[in-house]
Amino acid sequence: MQDLATLARSSTPRGEVVLRQRGSVEELVVNGTFAMDSTETSSERELGRLARGAGRVLVGGLGLGYTVAAVLDEADRGAYAVAVDVVELEADLVAWAHEGRTPTLARAATDPRVRLFSGDVATVLAGRRKDLPGPWDAILLDVDNGPDFLIHAANDALYAEPGLRDAYARVAPGGVLAIWCQAPSPPLLAALARIDPSARERRHEVQREGRTFTYAVETVRRPRA
Ligand SMILES: C[S@@+](CC[C@H](N)C(=O)[O-])C[C@H]1O[C@@H](n2cnc3c(N)ncnc32)[C@H](O)[C@@H]1O
């Protein structure tokens, strides 16, 4: 059994947020739900790579920062300019990023291409944040473990058709909306397909602790103007 160290902990009206280190592995627990660890980050990075070529990117939420890192890596690889807006519900997690509590969070907080905001990404997608009007060429959402395993019950609205239409409305022509899910989600894919026929599902197999998990990213693209 590896040592478990608490790097940071806070209590919020929504529940506890805990950042931990187990050996070399970082873990994030939000509202009593295991949100993310750094054992296997390929699907979160894959989500970031979907922003390939995008000049303006919105990421919700920050988590441990691996999706944000992948967006930056992709821009470095392609040698293009990118501006990344990250909206994270937990202000304390944003503060821990600024304090550099883990290397990946520190990178998100210090890279000049990234702006970190605290708040509910649903508010941004509904157009109710004047400082974040959009549009974005890529909107990447990973705020739960998917629509079937919510971190916060209120996030349910993000995956219902009105919430998805809000998000789609903030995507620039030619851009993409991508949503990480811990399992393929036929209802989410169907809702996206009702919004735009470009809806697609990308499955991503991951081996963890001797088991195979099939994660999915559901996407929809806006036609070019
Ligand atoms: C699964 S983690 C994201 C993992 C991230 N993709 C990464 O690479 O580390 C989910 C994050 O979304 C945040 N979150 C949950 N609901 C949110 C909301 N409505 N708006 C913004 N952030 C939210 C959580 O606090 C948590 O930091």
pLDDT in tens, 52-74: 999 999 999 999 999 999 999 99
Position in ligand 1 atom list of the atom nearest CA 31:
25
Ligand 1 nearest-atom number relative to CA 90: 25
Cis peptide before 61 (omega within 30 of 0): yes
| Rounded-to-integer distance, Cα 127 and Cα 113, Å | 22
Question: Is 55 a domain residue?
Answer: yes
> Is 76 a member of any domain?
yes
27 touches ligand 1 (CB under 6 Å): no
- 31-57: per-residue pLDDT in tens? 888 999 999 999 999 999 999 999 999
What Cα–Cα distance (Å) separates residue 32 from each residue in 6, 17, 18, 166, 205? Answer: 15, 8, 9, 28, 26
Whether residue 50 is contained in a domain is answered as: yes
- Confidence label for 225 from pLDDT (cuts 50, 70 and 90): confident
Please report whether residue 145 resides in a domain.
Answer: yes
- Structural domain includes residue 14: no
Whether 5 is in a domain gets the answer no
Please report, rounded to a whole number, the percentage of residues in the chain having pLDDT higher than 70: 100
Indicate the burial class of 144 (C-beta count within 10 angstroms; 0-12, 13-18, 19 or more). Answer: buried
Measured from the CA of 30, which atom of ligand 1 is nearest? Answer: 25
166 within a domain of the structure (yes/no) = yes
If one counts the domains in the chain, the total is 1
pLDDT single digits (tens) 90-111: 999 999 999 999 999 999 999 9
Query: The CATH number of the domain where 102 resides is what?
Result: 3.40.50.150
Q: Which domain holds residue 111?
A: 40-221
| CB within 8 Å of 105: residues ≥ 6 apart | 62, 64, 65, 93, 96, 97
Could you list the beta-strand ranges (E) of 79-135. 83-88, 114-118
Q: What confidence tier does 1 reach under pLDDT thresholds 50, 70, 90?
A: low
For the record, the structure tokens of 13 come out as 């009206």
Give me 77's structure tokens: 């690889």
- Of 204, 224, 200, 199, the C-alpha closest to 216 is 204
Give dist(CA 128, CA 145) in Å, integer: 25
**Residue 8 placed within a domain:** no
